[in-house]
Each structure stands twice: as structure tokens, then as C-alpha cells.
Chain A
Amino acid sequence: MFYKKLILLFLLTLSPLLSGCWNNRELEELGLAVAMGIDKEDGKYVVTVQLVNPSSIASKQMDTTRAPVVTYQEKGDTIFDAIRRLTKTSPRKTFYPHLKVLVLGEKIAKEGFSKSLDLLARDQEFRSDFFVVVAKGHRADEVLNILVPVEKIAAQNIFSKLKTSEEVFAPSYALTFGKLIDDLTSEGTEPVITGLKITGNPKEGEKMSNLQTANPKVRLKYINLAVFKKDKLKGWLNEHESKGYNYFNDNVKSTIVTVPCLDKKKDRLSVEIIDTHTKVKSKMENGIPHVHAEVNAKANVGEVGCSINLTKQATIDEIQKLVEHDIHGKITEAIIAAQKKYKIDFLGAGKVIHRADPKYWKRAKKGWDEKFVNIKITSKVNVHIDKIGKNSNSFLNEFDKK
């Protein structure tokens, strides 16, 4: 009993040391950073931070005259230096756990961004669940300065837009910071980051007037994926290649595939992919690795633009084949882009081979890029159509008969 008490006392005296990050901060003294932009200028880092202006966002005390977000910008030799310099202009200490998005300017993306990321990985205030995007053809601050409709906080807009477009359309890829670090450090793969583009004149987008029209002139829009070699931007994939990349890497949750309406070539029908699973395997064939991706997809018929007989299994089978062909085509385009166009293994084929045959990988990892262009990458797609919606045949069938 005495020893138990002694141990308890010992543990209790230890407990104050466990306090961790317990510095007391009042909520109103925090500048909530929701987005951060990193760029380079004259050899110095330019850091842009988007802070929330709480009183113009919270529904009750809405102050519509003030912009919902404010951006602050500073230059510094390092990121941390620049962040601390921000206190010269920002009234509050910035608070980063709620960071949603990190925007990399195109310039720093081309020159290599890896050296700027250590602080974000090291500091306890940064989580690793914010998304990373690349501003296509813009500086990072230009993107963060745009005031956006619907979601008042620009960063929230960027965040949720990326999430939904990844979930239901698929050419974009919601890459979190943690995953990016993972991609940068692991062997046999290269990072791929979604691009973000401003439509319209960026200067106009900074004004509140951009929010006051039903059809804002300046918007942020996701475009396709950027391909990196190590940490340097090498080029951009088109939409097909981007989708193909996502199919290959099992990133597709749901998307739409439009295929020709069987024999009526100029009519289209769209199929909603509701669930896909990709398994990538690798085998050795005559000393050359063969990477094979098998995509299993469930789909629903979503829209029929012609009169066909959907009640027949044969029709459904034919549609399935068309969809399979379409997906297969996109994956092939992505493979060609990787092996022929950029000669960069952004598909992560090396990673698959590493897992399947570690011995071979040990020999092959040096100069993998040259070997990569010669390996065989194939794919097979199985699509299964489950449902055809509320109607069996389209009303167009009756309409055409008339």
C-alpha cells in the first residue's frame, strides 16, 4: 500500500512536465490563418497568409462592408523569417492549425519548392491535412487575394472545391501536405499536384464588387494535374491524362464517362461511375517488369441522349464495353504521357515494383527514369452497370416514334 502511494506520488509529480503546448491564448487575439502562399522573388521567399476576418463571417454580427479575409505578405530569407516579419503588418499573431490550403506559386514550383516546406512539417502548429495546390501561371498571392462567392473564406472555397471535384469529377487530386511529403521522399514515384487557375483579371477579383454580382468576373478554377520531377514542375497533364492518372492510382471515387450512343455516333450517353477500385500489380517478364493495373468499376446509366433499348441485357453489355474502352483509353494516355512525353514515373510504377520485387528494385533504382520508359505498363478495365435510374427506356424512344 505504501509503495502504491509512493508510485502514485511520483507519477503525480511527473505530470506537470507533460503539459505540452499549453500556452494560454485568448481566442480574439488569434489571427486564424486559413491559407498560405509560398513564392520566390529575388532569391527570397515571399509568404502570403490569408487571415479570416471573423466578424464579417459569423452570421449574426455580419459586417458586410468588410472583406471576409485579409491577406498579409512578407519577404524573408526563410519561411519562418517571413512569417515572423508578418507581425509588422498583421495585428495579431497568426494561428496555423486551421490552415486549409497551401498554394505554391508557379515560379517556386519550377525552381523547386522542397526547401521551403521544412517549417510546415516541423512546427507543431501546422497539421499535415491541408491541401497543396499549384497556381498555374500566377503568383501565389494573386490566388489568395481573390474574393470568392458562396464560401466566404477563399481558402475554404479552394478547399471544398477541390474536395468535391475530386470526389465527383476526378481530374483533380486532393493532395494533402502529409501525402506530398510522402511522395517526395518515397522511392519510385514523383509528386503530382493539382493546378489552380484564375479566370479573369486577378486585380478585379480583389475587390468586394466581385462578390456583389451573380456572375463574378473573376473566379478560381481547378485545372488539371501538374507533373513534378523531384520538386520541380515539369509540365501539365491534360484532362484525359489527369483522369487516367487518377484511375491508375485508385483516386477516383465517382465520375462521369460519356460514350457514344452505340451506333448513333453523334449522340452521347453518360454513365456515372459510382465506385472504382484499382489494383496495380507487377510481374517480371524476361527481366523486364510488367506493371498491370486492373480497374473494377461499378456504374449507373445516368443520361441517355438517344433511343436505345435499355431493357435488353445486350445493350447494357455494349454500354459496359464502351465505358471500359473509354477508361482504358484514358489510362493509356496517362501511361504514354509518363513514358513518352515527360519520361517521369509520376504513376508510381517504381513503387509497385519495389513492393513486388525488392531485389530487382535494389538494382534498378539507380537511373530508374531511363529504365522506366522501357517497362511494360498495361491496364484492364471491368465495368459493371448496376442501375439505370428511374426509367427503363428513355422517353426519347416514344418521342422518336411519333
Chain B
Amino acid sequence: MVFKKRRVKKLLDNEMPKENSTKPEEDPATEDGLYSTLDKNISRIKTSFGDSSDLVSAKFLVNESLKQEAALIYIEGLVNKQIINHFLENITVSSRELKNHTSHTLSSAHLIEHLSLPISHLSELHDFTNIYRSMLSGNAVLLLDSVSIGYGMDTCGWKGRDVSESETESVVRGPKEAFTESIQTNTTLIRRKIKDPRLWIVTKPIGTVTQTRVSVVYIHGIANEKLVKEVHERLDRIDIDGILESNYIEEFIQDETYTPFPTVFNTERPDVIAAGLLEGRIAIVIDGTPFVLLVPALFTHFFQAAEDYYQRWDISTLLRILRVSAFFISLLGPSVYIAVINFHQEMLPSPLLVSLAAQREGVPFPAVIEALIMEITLEILREAGLRLPKAIGQTVSIVGALVIGQAAVEAGIISAAMVIVVSITAISNFILPAYNIGISIRILRFGFMILAGTFGLYGVAIGLFALALHLCSLRSFGIPYMAPIAPYIKSDMKDTLWRKPRWKLLTRPRLVNQTNINREPKKTSDQK
């Protein structure tokens, strides 16, 4: 207990300076505070940025009679030039009006409050750290001479990608839009799906250098408060210079690092995130990537495609079963083939065995080696195809399909049956809706092949036992990974290996959401 307490204290100590830096107004005496002369401030900003060429500072007189000097500092490219121009036009007009109406006694500090500016959002910045941050997130900073406050103006407007169709998770029926790299667009996309004030978005910067904005999104009252707290705690614990993609966060916050299975779900579809939020799960949106994380992520979630819910339940159920079988084919295809060919020849029907024996005739390698060669070739082709420029892609597919597939068989190095097994394995791998669960199978497949090559089906069985044990030991944000299968939760089985009709999916998953289980509170309260 003592130890625990100490750790908590340490954690708090670490957090203290961070809070200080974000709230400098409590401590104006630090050297981070603004100077009272404009030129000094400008030169300090310029030196801090190393006189970067994209830093623009425009000096002008706000009010000719007051001789009030001002400067607008911003970074070119991050701001919308139209807003800047509009602002500059207006400030002179507005100050001229000011001159006519008010006395000369107006102090510089209050001047800005009396100007009517065409800016939606104006924030006071008291130190350089905040000024830099504001500038870097696309604001223009207005500095006034003899005023030690900077004004950050929302002029943000850089070129980003438009909302486009999802490329990694396409559907036949259902919304086609996908997240973009802009966090604002992304949170808006979620908000547009869930029109409820209870959708809470808490944003914080992570990454000491990149200051990437990370938003925790959840529905208050549906998401489990403990879980929300846990997510925040894990995010706060991240200590890194930069976050460039959601996986940076994923690796920091996942429960178990040494497992091939993903315990954090990611998607680029707003509708999938919205569905997750409604189940009481928590989304983590990261600026700069279209992939949004969803926690907790259970094993069964990786078999659920968005389209399962946009099509009739019967076909969805059929597809679920297909996916689960594909999972096993992909995982065990080559290993079972090796085991049967090498150890359990009596299992096969005689004509098939004769046909396989004929194919194996003249193949110089044992079946395990043969399988490994093919699998590795496949992985190489796959990886090469992924990274290649599109123009060369065709060449690779021709070389891969013709040269390696056909020629290897005709040359008698690889048996045709092995090519079939490896192909069906590879194709089965792609049927899984989540790409990252496919990766875990790819890794495990090799282990199973070696087990099959040394112990036959017995080895495969041992491997499966070990896998089951491992899967049951995993947790995602404290929730058992295999739920609702193990531990078995009958009411949650409705959306796992099969999907029941929509009107039967009345409750939220029990483990993810402990407090607000019913999806339709009115109806169920009537029943009770």
C-alpha cells in the first residue's frame, strides 16, 4: 500500500508543472510573460521561430490619433488569408469610428474591447508559450504596443482533405463518408450522427513537441464513468515528444503489449464510432489521422462489419459465420494440410490421397518447408504490392501470379495442392473486416505450421489450447477480451457469432456498459 501511495504522489508531481505551463496567469512574473513593448515582443517571437520564412508579422497603426501601434503575427499557410484581409480592413474602419465617439483617455489595454472585429473567437494570451501554441494551431496573434497581452484570433484555415469515401472499409449499403486528417472535421462528423448534448468531447494536447490534439469522445450517462476516467488516466500518462498517428496512442494505452491480438479498435468510419459510442464505448480522436480509436475492443468486435447492421439480419448472420470460418481457415489452413499430409494420411479419402501423392511426387522439399516457402513468398508479394507505386503494381501481380505460382508448380518445386491451400488461406485473411486482426492471424499461422510439422494435428491442438488460454487471459480496459463468450454472457451473445433482428438488440453490452443497459428506456420501464 505504501508503495502505491508513493507512486500516485509521483504521478501528481509530474503533472504539476504541466498545469503550470497551461495556466500562466496565476504566475505572471515568469520570464515567459510578454514585454510591454511591441518591438521586443515581435523580435522575441521571431528569434523563437528562428526567423522562419513562413512567419509573417504585419505592423500597422490601429488608431492614427492615438498612435497605437499593433502587429498581426501569423504563420503563412495555417491561416485563411481572406479572414486576415477582412480583419485588417475592418480594424481601421472600426477604430476610425472609435475616434469619433470616444474620448482620448481610452487606455490601450481596453482599446481592443471597444473595437468591433469580424472575428468569431478571440482569446487572451498572456505568455509566449500560449502565443506560440495559438499561432501554430492556425490563429493570428494580435499584439498591441504597451499591452502585455496578446490576442489570438480564430483565423484557422489551412487546406485539408475533404470528407471522402472510406477506402479501407467500404460498404455496399450504408454511409460512405470517412474521417479525414482534421480533428475538427472528425468530431463534427460524430456530432452530426449523435445530436445530443450528452455527447461530451474532452480535448487535450499530447506530445511535448507536436502538441497533437487528442479528443476523448463519449456519451455522458451511457459510457461507464470508471472507464472514462481510466482512459483519461492512461492518456495523461503518455510521455512522448510526438503523436503522428493513432497507433502511437494505441500502443501506449493498450492493456497487453506482448500479444498478437489488438485490444484497441480503430476505424475511419464515423458511423462505426457512433455505434460504439451508443454501446457505451469511448472514442479517441487524434488530430492528423483519419483513424479513430474505440475502446474497449473485444475479440468479437473485430468480426463485426459496419454493413452487418445495414443489411437484413439473416444475411448478416450468414456472413458472421462465414467470417468465423474464414478466421479458422486462415489460421489453420496450411497447418492442417501439413499435419494431414505428413502424419494422418489415413484421414483422407483414398482418391484424394492418391491425387495428392501424385502431386507430391518429385517435390524435393518436405511439406513443411514447401508450405513455409509459399507462405513467405505470399507475404513478400503482399508487402511489395502494398508499397509499390501503382504503375508498377501490375508487373508485380503478373510476376507473382504467373512466375511464382504457375512456374513453381510446373517446375515441380511446389505441389499444386499447396498453392491452393496457401491461396485460400490468403483470401480468407482478407474476409475479416478489421485489418489488424488479420495481422495477428498472419503471425500465428507460422507458429501453427511449425507445430503441425513437428507434432501433426496433436501439435495443432496444443497450439489451439494455448491460443484459447492466451485469448482468455487478455483484457481490454479491464474487460475480458473474449466476453461475451468467456465469461459467457447470454444476453450479449445476440451480436456475436450471429446477429439477431434489430428489435432484439435492445440492451447494450453488459460488461462494457454497467450502468445504462437499456437502449430504449421508455419501453423497458413500461414492461417492468
Instruction: Tell me the A residues contacting B by CB distance below 8 Å.
Output: 15, 18-20, 22-28, 30, 32, 34, 52, 54-55, 57-61, 95, 97-98, 100, 125, 127, 153, 156
- Contact yes or no, B462 A30, CB < 8 A: no
Residue of chain B at shortest CB distance from A63: B358
- Contact yes or no, B350 A54, CB < 8 A: no
Residue of chain A at shortest CB distance from B349: A98
- Contact yes or no, B355 A54, CB < 8 A: yes
- Contact yes or no, B359 A61, CB < 8 A: yes
Residue of chain A at shortest CB distance from B368: A24
- Contact yes or no, B343 A24, CB < 8 A: yes
* B355 / chain A contacts, CB cutoff of 8 Å: 54, 57-59
Residue of chain A at shortest CB distance from B417: A27
- Contact yes or no, A22 B456, CB < 8 A: yes
Q: Which residues 354-408 in B have Cβ within 8 Å of A in the complex?
A: 354-363, 366-367
- Contact yes or no, B455 A26, CB < 8 A: no
Residue in B358, B363, B453, B458 whose beta carbon sits within 8 Å of that of A54 in the complex = B358
- Expressed in whole angstroms, the Cα–Cα distance for A127 and B455 within the complex equals 23
Residue in B353, B359, B360, B462 whose beta carbon sits within 8 Å of that of A26 in the complex = B360
B345 at the interface (CB under 8 A from A): yes
- Expressed in whole angstroms, the Cα–Cα distance for A100 and B353 within the complex equals 14
Residue in A25, A58, A127 whose beta carbon sits within 8 Å of that of B354 in the complex = A58
- Contact yes or no, B358 A55, CB < 8 A: yes
- Contact yes or no, A26 B367, CB < 8 A: yes
Residue in B350, B357, B458, B462 whose beta carbon sits within 8 Å of that of A27 in the complex = B357
* B526 / chain A contacts, CB cutoff of 8 Å: none
Given the known interface contacts A19-B455, A58-B359, the answer about A32 and B354 at a Cβ–Cβ threshold of 8 Å is yes
Residue in A34, A54, A60, A153 whose beta carbon sits within 8 Å of that of B416 in the complex = A60
- Contact yes or no, A22 B458, CB < 8 A: yes
B254 at the interface (CB under 8 A from A): no
- Contact yes or no, A55 B346, CB < 8 A: no
Tell which of B342, B345, B346, B354 has the most Cβ of chain A within 10 Å.
B354
- Expressed in whole angstroms, the Cα–Cα distance for A55 and B458 within the complex equals 30
- Contact yes or no, B358 A26, CB < 8 A: no
B474 at the interface (CB under 8 A from A): no
- Contact yes or no, A54 B462, CB < 8 A: no
List of 3 A-B pairs having minimum Cβ-Cβ separation, nearest first? A97-B346, A58-B358, A54-B358
- Contact yes or no, A95 B345, CB < 8 A: yes
Given the known interface contacts A54-B357, A98-B353, the answer about A25 and B345 at a Cβ–Cβ threshold of 8 Å is yes
* B358 / chain A contacts, CB cutoff of 8 Å: 54-55, 57-58, 60-61
Given the known interface contacts A55-B361, A58-B358, the answer about A26 and B346 at a Cβ–Cβ threshold of 8 Å is no
Taken residue by residue from 273 to 287, chain B's Cβ proximity to chain A (1 for < 8 Å, 0 otherwise) reads as 000000000000000
- Contact yes or no, B455 A100, CB < 8 A: no
- Expressed in whole angstroms, the Cα–Cα distance for A125 and B346 within the complex equals 8
Residue of chain B at shortest CB distance from A159: B350
How many residue pairs, one in A and one in B, have C-beta atoms under 8 Å apart?
79
Residue of chain A at shortest CB distance from B454: A24
- Contact yes or no, B354 A100, CB < 8 A: no
B483 at the interface (CB under 8 A from A): no
Can you name 27 A-B residue pairings with CB atoms under 8 Å?
A19-B455, A19-B458, A22-B343, A23-B343, A24-B342, A24-B343, A24-B453, A25-B342, A26-B341, A26-B367, A27-B357, A28-B360, A28-B361, A30-B357, A32-B353, A34-B350, A52-B354, A52-B357, A54-B354, A54-B357, A54-B358, A57-B354, A57-B355, A98-B350, A125-B346, A156-B350, A156-B351
- Expressed in whole angstroms, the Cα–Cα distance for A60 and B355 within the complex equals 9
The smallest C-beta distance from A278 to any residue of chain B, in angstroms, reads 32
- Expressed in whole angstroms, the Cα–Cα distance for A22 and B452 within the complex equals 11
A-B contacts besides A52-B357, A100-B350, 12 pairs, CB < 8 Å: A19-B455, A27-B345, A27-B357, A27-B367, A28-B357, A28-B362, A30-B357, A32-B354, A34-B350, A57-B354, A58-B359, A125-B346
The smallest C-beta distance from B321 to any residue of chain A, in angstroms, reads 31
* B356 / chain A contacts, CB cutoff of 8 Å: 27
Interface range for B? 20 to 34
Residue of chain B at shortest CB distance from A26: B366
* B345 / chain A contacts, CB cutoff of 8 Å: 25, 27, 30, 95, 97-98
Taken residue by residue from 329 to 348, chain B's Cβ proximity to chain A (1 for < 8 Å, 0 otherwise) reads as 00000000000011101100
- Expressed in whole angstroms, the Cα–Cα distance for A156 and B366 within the complex equals 29
- Contact yes or no, A26 B342, CB < 8 A: yes
- Contact yes or no, A27 B416, CB < 8 A: no
- Expressed in whole angstroms, the Cα–Cα distance for A26 and B357 within the complex equals 9
- Expressed in whole angstroms, the Cα–Cα distance for A251 and B233 within the complex equals 76
- Contact yes or no, B341 A27, CB < 8 A: yes
The smallest C-beta distance from B422 to any residue of chain A, in angstroms, reads 17
- Expressed in whole angstroms, the Cα–Cα distance for A338 and B455 within the complex equals 54
- Expressed in whole angstroms, the Cα–Cα distance for A28 and B350 within the complex equals 14
- Expressed in whole angstroms, the Cα–Cα distance for A97 and B345 within the complex equals 8
* A58 / chain B contacts, CB cutoff of 8 Å: 354-355, 357-359
Given the known interface contacts A20-B458, A54-B355, the answer about A28 and B416 at a Cβ–Cβ threshold of 8 Å is no
- Expressed in whole angstroms, the Cα–Cα distance for A156 and B352 within the complex equals 13
- Expressed in whole angstroms, the Cα–Cα distance for A26 and B370 within the complex equals 12
* B350 / chain A contacts, CB cutoff of 8 Å: 32, 34, 98, 100, 156
The smallest C-beta distance from B466 to any residue of chain A, in angstroms, reads 9
* B462 / chain A contacts, CB cutoff of 8 Å: 15
* A34 / chain B contacts, CB cutoff of 8 Å: 350
* B455 / chain A contacts, CB cutoff of 8 Å: 19, 22
- Contact yes or no, A24 B357, CB < 8 A: no
- Expressed in whole angstroms, the Cα–Cα distance for A153 and B354 within the complex equals 10
The smallest C-beta distance from A170 to any residue of chain B, in angstroms, reads 26
Residue of chain B at shortest CB distance from A96: B346
- Expressed in whole angstroms, the Cα–Cα distance for A156 and B351 within the complex equals 9
Taken residue by residue from 108 to 138, chain B's Cβ proximity to chain A (1 for < 8 Å, 0 otherwise) reads as 0000000000000000000000000000000
* B362 / chain A contacts, CB cutoff of 8 Å: 28
- Contact yes or no, A18 B458, CB < 8 A: yes
